[in-house]
Amino acid sequence: MQTTGSKKRALTEFFSPASPKRARKCPPPSEAKALPPDHPHDSYTTYPIPVPHLPAYLCNELLEAPFAASKRINDQADLDILYFQPFVPKDVADDLFHFIRGHLFFYRVQYKIKRGSIETLINTPRYTTVFGLDDTSQFHTDGSILEASTSKPISPNKYPTCSPRPIPQCLDELRKITETFTESSYNFCLVNYYANGEDSISYHSDDERFLGADPAIASLSLGAKRDFLMKHKPVPPKENGSALNSLNSAKPLKLPLASGDLILMRGKTQANWLHSIPKRKGGESDQGRVNITFRKAMVKGGTENYYQYNVGKGAVWRWNVVKREMVPWQADVKTG
């Protein structure tokens, strides 16, 4: 592991033992109900419900990020990770967790895959939602979509399978600060909510062609601590010569991602490594976890892919503060 410096603070400050707990500037909005009725929000025709802005004190806390300098993990073949442990301090991360779980809308996506003649229905084992647009388009301030090259409205059938929606302010504040400290730019924000240790994401890599070569993907964890596992992709037998022994000896990695931690996967990582959040029992796994990834899709296929697999066609789910669980949104409206 190597350590890289922060742009904002002296390294000695980051490595002082146990940093003192900072005095809170105001009490935490432990649940969604804390916001006053005139609180500003984002509202677009493509949102099922408006999304409130982050409270000012949380925006101010974000200006203090990163809370720790990043460590660079690049001591194995094809691996290049920056690990901010944490990026935002735990008390701020926990408030962000409650805010995002309490105010975003989520989906439980189902889709079919076909292997040979056999079709299988996949139930995504977590709640997901997504915001953003690939680089060929841009949002007008009213949420309508313009061609990036001409600033004219897109053809109505440019995105036949989805209704892209702008990144709400509460996630955009996080996107901007993440861009600064990861030195990359992002036009998509994908959000996962793992309700408990039964929710998971299986081994995969984010190496779709629509992300371009060597994509940088930043991933912020909020809420329960969960293990993030990584392993090198299998090396095809024909390449499996002695010169490639270092690939076969690549060791799996386990990063115990805690509330406020941020990792950046970059360089050859996505092309060569797989990552997962496995199901877990015990620890904090019975509590919820929010994961936010920022990515940059280059072409329109990326937009359609992200909305298909993170929104789909099913019900909208929202956090219910009384039941303390996600409920289908229509039922939420009826039962208050």
Ligand X SMILES: O=C(O)CCC(=O)C(=O)O
Which residues contact ligand X (rule: CB under 6 A)? 190, 192, 201, 206, 219, 221, 228, 257, 275, 277, 291, 293
Mind giving me the DSSP string for 141-152? TTS-EEETTT-S
Least CB distance from residue 203 to ligand X, whole Å?
Answer: 9
The nearer residue to ligand X, 81 or 257, going by C-beta atoms, is 257
Least CB distance from residue 232 to ligand X, whole Å?
Answer: 16
The nearer residue to ligand X, 195 or 257, going by C-beta atoms, is 257
The nearer residue to ligand X, 257 or 326, going by C-beta atoms, is 257
Distance of CA 286 to the CA centre of its chain: 20
Least CB distance from residue 156 to ligand X, whole Å?
Answer: 30
The span from the CA of 75 to the CA of 250, in Å, is 10
Q: Helix, strand or coil for residue 17? A: coil
The nearer residue to ligand X, 222 or 250, going by C-beta atoms, is 222
Element (H, E) at 129: strand 127-132
The span from the CA of 151 to the CA of 279, in Å, is 45
Q: Helix, strand or coil for residue 110? A: strand
Least CB distance from residue 292 to ligand X, whole Å?
Answer: 9
The nearer residue to ligand X, 145 or 230, going by C-beta atoms, is 230
The nearer residue to ligand X, 154 or 262, going by C-beta atoms, is 262
Cβ-based neighbours of 231, under 8 Å, separated by 6 or more: 203, 250, 252, 253, 273, 274
Least CB distance from residue 293 to ligand X, whole Å?
Answer: 5
Q: Can you read off the two tokens belonging to residue 131?
A: 């915001």
Strands 137-139, 325-328: parallel, antiparallel or unpaired by DSSP? unpaired
Least CB distance from residue 221 to ligand X, whole Å?
Answer: 6
Element (H, E) at 264: strand 262-265
Q: Can you read off the two tokens belonging to residue 32?
A: 């969604």
